[in-house]
Structure 1
Amino acid sequence: MSMHKGFERTYFLSYCQSLYDTDKAYDSEQANRLNRHRHVEPDSAKFLASIAMIREPHKVLEIGTSTGFSTLWLAYGLRHQSNVDFISLDIDKSRSNTAKQHLQNVGLSSLVRFIVQDAFVFLSKTEDVFDLVFLDAERQFYSNYTERLHKVLSVGSVLIVDNVLSHSDEVCEFLAEFINNPRYICHTLDIGAGLFMAVRQEP
């Protein structure tokens, strides 16, 4: 039984499918990609939930909330854990508020701390080390985050990046900073739009 009041798994699954379908239709009508919600694919979302269940992280960071589809699934994967600090970060307050409402609608809002802030600023200021980081934001800025991501990851920490096959040309230099770094074991997974996973193996 879930420890979260109002959570019901069947309803959650139905809610997520409806949200994905609605937002996918919305995105198809947006000429400007910045107006799209651009959720992860359902298979990628389920993979995130699986990693959260397996890793049992105490501190989780999502960079790029959008309207909360991946946030829902990360929270789903964390729902049986206690003492979890899950931060979902986005620069757009309206999207963050929408995501917060979705989490409330399925009874998982107590798991997530939403912060509206630029990711570079957050990573520059935080003293936290995260067990799991999911990166799905504006790809043009990823290289700016590299050194700060190294700082917030410790041995056993997992970094997951979305869209690495669908937009490989945009992320290849960023990913190389981890692939060529002996502190990480890296995998590229043919799931959804392509997921990259880097596991920190050395301090």
Structure 2
Amino acid sequence: MMPTFNPSHFLSYCQSLYEADSKYDSEQSNRLDRHRHVEPDAAQFLANIATIRQPKKVLEIGTSTGFSTLWLAYGLRHCPNVGFTSLDIDKTRSDVAKSHLQAVGLSTLVDLKVQDASDYLSKNQKVFDFIFLDAERKFYSDYTEYLHRALTIGSVLIIDNVISHSGEVQYFLAVFKNDERYICHTLDISAGLFMAVRQEP
């Protein structure tokens, strides 16, 4: 039987998962072998935004092993009829994320898709209230027009690692900063979060 959600169990599970994954990542010499999930402060911020925004449609680009996915699902657990899709190209990692979601009783909230983000976005016809982007930064510029199309007035786009890897994302972020349809903020939370809120069609 799948466990029911329990807040205390969720918090202790996430703490243990963070510690285990941090240890694992520290032992990997190849960056691509690391799980590279968000820091707890950033994950909790995502949950808070989800709780405040009460979105109907949510997209996460970059599931990895599901740490941010867990916290987004946590923030969305009281949102009625929410549709939450999380993408990753690696099936093994997506399967691990699924097991974590099942362990805390939140798996029914998330549609985990194993698919290349560019392929998904190029075919996407949905508009999302909330998009979280934490994937391979070298591909971000390929997503720009697709992201514009997937956002509408009130939509929130959040991007991780914008301070720790500022040089890799500066041109991508500038597209949103220089677009009058968005109001943007860089937040000094963990590795740095960039938030763009759509103000105009």
SS of alignment partner, residue 147 of structure 1 = helix
**Equivalent position of 1:69 in the other structure:** 67
Q: 2:55 aligns with which of 54, 57, 61?
A: 57
**Equivalent position of 1:186 in the other structure:** 184
Following superposition of structure 1 onto structure 2, how do residues 68-147 of structure 1 map, counting pairs within 5 Å? 68-147=66-145
**Equivalent position of 1:199 in the other structure:** 197
Q: Give the letter aligned to residue 151 of structure 1.
A: R
Alpha-carbon separation, structure 1, partners of 2:149 and 2:122: 9
Alpha-carbon separation, structure 2, partners of 1:25 and 1:167: 21
SS of alignment partner, residue 82 of structure 1 = coil
SS of alignment partner, residue 113 of structure 1 = strand
**Equivalent position of 1:46 in the other structure:** 44
What 5-or-longer segments of structure 1 have no aligned partner?
none
State the 1:110 CA deviation.
0.5
Runs (4+) off by over 4 Å: none
**Equivalent position of 1:23 in the other structure:** 21
Q: Give the letter aligned to residue 141 of structure 1.
A: F
State the 1:5 CA deviation.
6.0
TM-score of the two chains, using structure 1 as the length reference: 0.97
State the 1:100 CA deviation.
0.5
> How many residues end up aligned between the 2 structures?
200
Say if 2:3 and 2:102, in contact at 8 Å, map to a contact too. Answer: no
Q: Could you give the per-residue CA deviations for residues 2-36 of structure 1, whole angstroms, max 9, x where no partner exists?
A: xx961000000000000000000000000000000
Q: Could you give the per-residue CA deviations for residues 35-75 of structure 1, whole angstroms, max 9, x where no partner exists?
A: 00001000000000000000000000000000000000000
Say what the alpha-carbon RMSD is for the aligned residues: 0.9
SS of alignment partner, residue 163 of structure 2 = coil
SS of alignment partner, residue 166 of structure 1 = coil
Alpha-carbon separation, structure 2, partners of 1:35 and 1:95: 11
Alpha-carbon separation, structure 2, partners of 1:30 and 1:180: 38
Alpha-carbon separation, structure 1, partners of 2:81 and 2:195: 24
Q: Could you give the per-residue CA deviations for residues 110-162 of structure 1, whole angstroms, max 9, x where no partner exists?
A: 00000110000000001000000000000000000001000000000000000
CA change 1:16–1:38 in 2 (3 A) is: same
SS of alignment partner, residue 188 of structure 1 = strand
Alpha-carbon separation, structure 2, partners of 1:106 and 1:194: 27
What 5-or-longer segments of structure 2 have no aligned partner?
none
TM-score of the two chains, using structure 2 as the length reference: 0.98
Identical amino acids, percent of aligned pairs: 71
Q: Give the letter aligned to residue 156 of structure 1.
A: G
Alpha-carbon separation, structure 1, partners of 2:103 and 2:79: 20
SS of alignment partner, residue 135 of structure 2 = coil
SS of alignment partner, residue 125 of structure 2 = coil
